[in-house]
Amino acid sequence: MGRPPPLPELVRYCHPDKILSATRLPGTLTEDAIAALYGTDAATYRSLRADLAAAAASPPVAGSPFAPGSTILALGDSITDDLGSWAEILRHALPEVTIINAGLSGDTTTGAIARLSRLDVGRPTWALVLLGTNDARCHGGASMLVSHAETRRNLRILDGALRRRCRHVRWLTPPPIFAPVDADPDLHWEPADIAAKAQLVRALDPGAIDLWPGFTADHLCADGLHPSPAGQRFIAERLLAEEVSHELVELDEP
């Protein structure tokens, strides 16, 4: 086992309150309890969160295809759960739109299916979904965590479930990586596997927001896997620039 990530990285990507809410355990974690889990105090925890929120808010991104009063469910993994993620940038850019950040670090398409029924989010106007990176994750010398065939099946299940709950559904491809990533001795990602997952998303949703054109290695953090602040802003800007309203799917009448 390697050393734990530094505190700012933990606060950015790992959210114990979300992990608890994804289970059936009762209760909520207080700010003091969350800070203690990080091994710090509440004031330091608040300061780190405030810094990440400020980074997500500045510089502002412009434009919106979303009507005021809309509710957006952002479903994904750490790329979405990130406190400086594209979903958090949208939160600041679209004050008249409600953003529900349902990203969960480490999530796969399989995990998203399992927790979707436990998300108490009502009937959002939109679901914006960015999943697939962790499906390509390899543990030790084993094959991918979720095979391409299973990812294809899971995408269809998720798409159907979301279209029953949300007025509109739009998928985003997982962004590329540009070299093999070894997060620690046990975790590994291959660029070709991420590319295959992105292609499965394109096949599912011909109108998917494709994050590959224009995305470069400069849009990734030093780990070569997670989008940097510039990469997250790239995702948000691509999303806001898209005409996301085409090929809408209406909810079935009750």
Separation CA 16–CA 34 (nearest Å): 7
Neighbour count for residue 84 (Cβ, 10 Å): 21
Q: What's the pLDDT tens digit per position in 193-206?
A: 999 999 999 999 99
Give me the percent of the chain exceeding a pLDDT of 90: 73
For residue 119, give the nearest of 161, 154, 85, 150 by alpha carbon.
Answer: 161
Write down the mean pLDDT value for the chain.
90
Measured on CA atoms in the order 25, 30, 33, 37, is the torsion positive or negative?
Answer: positive
151: how many CB neighbours lie within 10 A of its CB? 24
Please give the pLDDT value at position 252. 37
pLDDT of residue 103 exceeding 70: yes
- Give me the DSSP letters along 154-201: HHHHHHHHHHHH-SEEEEBPPPP-SS-EEEETTEEE-HHHHHHHHHHH
Side-chain-side CA neighbours of residue 88 (13 Å): 24
The domain spans of the chain are: 7-241
Tokens representing 221 are 């953090």
Question: What is the tens place of the pLDDT at every residue in 168-224?
Answer: 999 999 999 999 999 888 899 999 999 999 999 999 999 999 999 999 999 999 999
For domain 7-241, the question of CATH label 3.40.50.300 is answered with: no
Q: Report whether 231 contacts 220 (CB < 8 A).
A: yes
Residue 113's SS3 state is helix
Average pLDDT over residues 66-87: 96
What pTM was estimated for this model as a whole? 0.90
Give the mean model confidence (pLDDT) for residues 58-76. Answer: 87
Instruction: Determine the residue type at 152.
Output: R
pLDDT exceeding 70 applies to what percent of the chain?
Answer: 93
